[in-house]
Amino acid sequence: SGEEQSPHLFQFHEDGFLVLEQFFSAEECDSMRSQIQRIVAEMEVPPHCRTAFSTREEEQLQAQGSSDYFLTSGDKIRFFFEKGVLDEKGNFLIPKERSVSKIGHALHAYDPVFKQITHSPKVQELGRKLGLERPVVVQSMYIFKVQQFKLSLTPHQDATFLHTEPLGRILGFWIALEDATQENGCLWFIPGSHTNGITRRMVRAASGASTCVEFVGSEPAYDDKHFIPLPISKGGLILIHGEVVHKSELNSSASSRHAFTFHVMEAKGTTWSKENWLQPTPELPFPSLYT
Domain boundaries in the chain? 7-272
Burial class from Cβ neighbours inside 10 Å (0-12, 13-18, 19+) for residue 180 reads buried
Beta bridge partners of 92: 86
- Write the class of the CATH domain 7-272: mainly beta
Contact (Cβ atoms closer than 8 angstroms) between residue 195 and residue 263:
no
State the number of CA atoms in the 13 A half-sphere of 267 facing the CB. Answer: 14
What is the Cα–Cα distance from 242 to 271, expressed in whole angstroms? 15
DSSP assigned state of 174 = E
What is the Cα–Cα distance from 191 to 183, expressed in whole angstroms? 21
Q: H or E stretch including 179?
A: none
What is the Cα–Cα distance from 40 to 34, expressed in whole angstroms? 10
Q: Give 241's contacts (C-beta < 8 A, 6+ positions apart).
A: 12, 16, 17, 168, 170, 171, 172, 194
Per-residue pLDDT of the chain (291 residues; tens, 9 = 90+): 444 556 688 999 999 999 999 999 999 999 999 999 999 999 999 988 887 767 888 888 888 889 899 999 999 999 999 888 988 888 999 888 889 999 999 999 999 999 999 999 999 999 999 999 999 999 999 999 987 665 778 999 999 999 999 999 999 999 999 999 999 999 999 999 999 999 999 999 887 777 789 999 998 999 999 999 999 999 999 999 999 999 999 898 988 899 999 999 999 999 999 999 999 999 999 999 998
Q: What is the pLDDT of residue 1?
A: 41
pTM for the full model? 0.94
